[in-house]
Structure 1
Amino acid sequence: MTAPDVPIAAGEDPYALKFPVIALVTSAGGLDALTGVLAPLPPELPAALLVVQHLQPDRPSELAGILAARTGLTVRAAVNDDRLIPGTVLVAPPARHLLVTSDARVGLIDAGALPPARPSADLLLATLAVTCGPRALAVVLTGKGTDAQAGIRAVVHCGGTVLAQDEASSQHFGMPGAAIGTTLVQNVLALPDIAEAIVGHVRAHQG
């Protein structure tokens, strides 16, 4: 027997996460783009941030340490079962996919030896969408390929918002261009304008 559907009461929030979560997804050229987004953000930003940049799976990454030196936010490499904390940036490590779970934590799973891109923006964004709903903000930054197309569809389906970096400020326009091609991106912005848009989203989705 299948369990009966439990109706959601009118006005009840069905999403597990009750504060905004910002996902920054990128590939080639990502270090400069991530720096441009994170450096202007206030350290007390009342939102959790997640970073996925495609990385070589067989090499250690210094991405979290470099970003920590370039922003007032707390930045660290994500570990399995890490709690999402406002004002903290969790960076996906090499060879692991980063997921958002229903109890305001993240999970890391092995990426395996073959594509999809590692870490996967699609997997992160899909799990963020179903746990965060309208509080989710996906930001697609410079990068090669088309990773994030499926993920942003999930974010928008669940009521979230998607931004993409414009071509003029992107070192590689594959990922942002593919995102824009879905027609689901709410705003296409130059890199210097993205931090302000993030702050606006957070203000609109607190509490």
Structure 2
Amino acid sequence: MENWQVQKLPTGTPGRYCRKNSIIGATMDACVQSPEGYPYALVTSGVEKGNLRELALARMEDLGLKCRDVRTREAGIQDIHNKIKPEEVELVRREYAANEGWETFLSYEDTRQDILVGLLRLRKCGRNVTCPELVGRCSIVRELHVYGTAVPVHGREADKLQHQGYGTLLMEEAERIARREHRSTKLAVISGVGTRHYYRKLGYELEGPYMVKCLV
């Protein structure tokens, strides 16, 4: 541990794992980023570069690999950089085991153009939960995002993806999976203060730090 604390990580290290990470789980993750807000000349341990994503993408290009992480595929980025918009959007489901629980990654995508419209991360809680709100037959929505150009609250624009109902559809599918497949009696959501009203409209109530809905 002492050696790690006083040594900087080699800048080339992230690039060594590009090939593996571009194949395993890339469609559900965001390519590595680095914290901002402090001068890297003062860094004494850990990563010494502030542009890890740029370096990783450059290394992938050298290896002939295409980055398919969340940020690269999201609709707004595709519109800005490639001037393409999603046309045929469909629900996609991916699943995997993690930390004694079961994760379901739901997304709305244009699979032909590889454009990500929105995503939801649903987890069937394992036995190792410590938060009292999650104990028992409970599932949790860890993340919900709909991508594209920002639209004001209560606003709607036909040519933009936000506020078109994708978030509600993802939540409805998450509730169906939690109820019928997980056999959960309630669904909790990790929600910031600003989005609690949205979940209240979907029937959720504040319980501790979570927005929670009874499924029975």
TM range (shorter): under 0.3
Query: Whose strand proportion is higher, 1 or 2?
Result: 2
TM-score (norm 2): 0.24
The structure with the largest alpha-carbon Rg is 2
